[in-house]
Amino acid sequence: MTRWVYYSSRSGNTEKLLRQAGLPALRIPQEVDAPMPAVDGPFVLVTPSFGDSTGKGAVPKPVIRFLNDPQRRQWLRAVVGCGDRNFGALFAQASEVVARKCSVPLLLRIEMSGTARDWQRLQALDQHFSEHFEFSAFQASP
């Protein structure tokens, strides 16, 4: 099974997305002083977008903190973005920023906590990555 790592704000949309898709995942904590999850193998990051009308601040600070550690960042293989389509061109911009800066593919952009079709697409990606890449075993809650 693919490793999934995510950040979810108080809205809980990103957490709900992964739960609805039935994918176990490690959560990046909201608290600034909380320890980050240990990652020792390839993973897909799922992140919401924040920021203002210009896109400034789109990547959540905890995601930046998580990826600033080269030991964790080296295992990032792809990104999935979540957001609100009401932001137009800035929809799910954090995922675009992370993908560009970390030179990994942006797999999907999903609105809010997704739909049944989005959950199926995530499950298909999980299956694909599990078959084609070596993801070491880990424990996380669905």
> What's the pLDDT tens digit per position in 64-103?
999 999 999 999 999 999 887 766 677 788 899 999 999 9
Strands 4-7 and 76-83: unpaired
Q: How far is residue 136's CA from residue 94's CA, in Å, rounded to a whole number?
A: 27
Q: How far is residue 134's CA from residue 130's CA, in Å, rounded to a whole number?
A: 7
pLDDT score of 140 more than 50: no
The 10 Å Cβ neighbour count of residue 28 is: 23
Taking only the tens place, the pLDDT of each residue in 95-134 is 999 999 999 999 988 888 788 898 998 999 888 877 766 5
pTM as predicted: 0.85
> Residue 114 is which amino acid?
G
Higher pLDDT, residue 85 or 19: 19
The pLDDT of residue 133 is: 65
Determine if residue 27 is left, alpha or beta; phi over 0 gives left, psi from -120 to 50 gives alpha, anything else beta. beta
